[in-house]
Structure 1
Amino acid sequence: MPASTDEITVVRNDEDSRYEVHVGDVLAGFTQFRVDRRGRYLYPHTEVDPAFRGRGLAQAVVAAAMTDSAARGETVVPHCPVVAKYLHENDVPGLKIEWPSQPHPE
């Protein structure tokens, strides 16, 4: 496992429809999205490699994804419990959220 002093970066990977969090040059986790026929960005799943858990990386990748989505003018539908929890606990200026009436399968 890389040292905890390694730089943490988040990048949007449109090819794989996800935001990725890297520790140094290692992919440590991601939050997936898909665009529905109405143009909304559905977030079904967030995952962090067990070797990197406990560092706040899930929150970091979700925070960056939500901030970027707000800047892009996207509407977010948070099906992932990690994304939903983040949005309940944090204000993201300019982010449009449509809360799902029921959870969406991954």
Structure 2
Amino acid sequence: MDVKDNRLKNRFETEIDGYKAFVEYEVKPNVLVLTHTEVDKRLAGKGVGSEMIEAVLLQMELRGLKAIPECPFIAKYIDKHPEWKSILA
């Protein structure tokens, strides 16, 4: 999945078959507060949200950033994937 960090809009974005999905965030020093995940309803049920979160967390890890998951979907994802607990602030 090709996920881009749109720093002007404070969100990670992707587009699949012309439909958008994104993860919004707030910036703090060395931390991103992950506030909201949205997946176009036409992509729902295809695992797009989970795949996107995985890509976002990987990008953050590579950039040395920590996460505060305020979005319930992201918090639940991290709970189910304990390998990502090390990225939590």
Is 1:51 equivalent to 2:63 in the alignment?
A: no
Give the corresponding residue for 1:60. 51
Give the corresponding residue for 1:40. 31
Conserved? CA contact 2:11–2:22, under 8 Å: yes
> For structure 2, which runs of at least 5 residues remain unmatched after alignment?
none
Alpha-carbon distance between aligned partners in 1 of 2:8 and 2:49, rounded to the nearest angstrom? 20
Give the corresponding residue for 2:2. 9
Moved over 4 A (4+): none
Alpha-carbon distance between aligned partners in 1 of 2:26 and 2:19, rounded to the nearest angstrom? 20
**What is the percentage of aligned positions where both structures have the same residue?**
25
Is 1:96 equivalent to 2:87 in the alignment?
A: yes
Corresponding residue pairs, total: 88
> For structure 1, which runs of at least 5 residues remain unmatched after alignment?
1-7, 99-106
In terms of Rg, which structure is larger?
A: 1
Give the corresponding residue for 2:68. 77
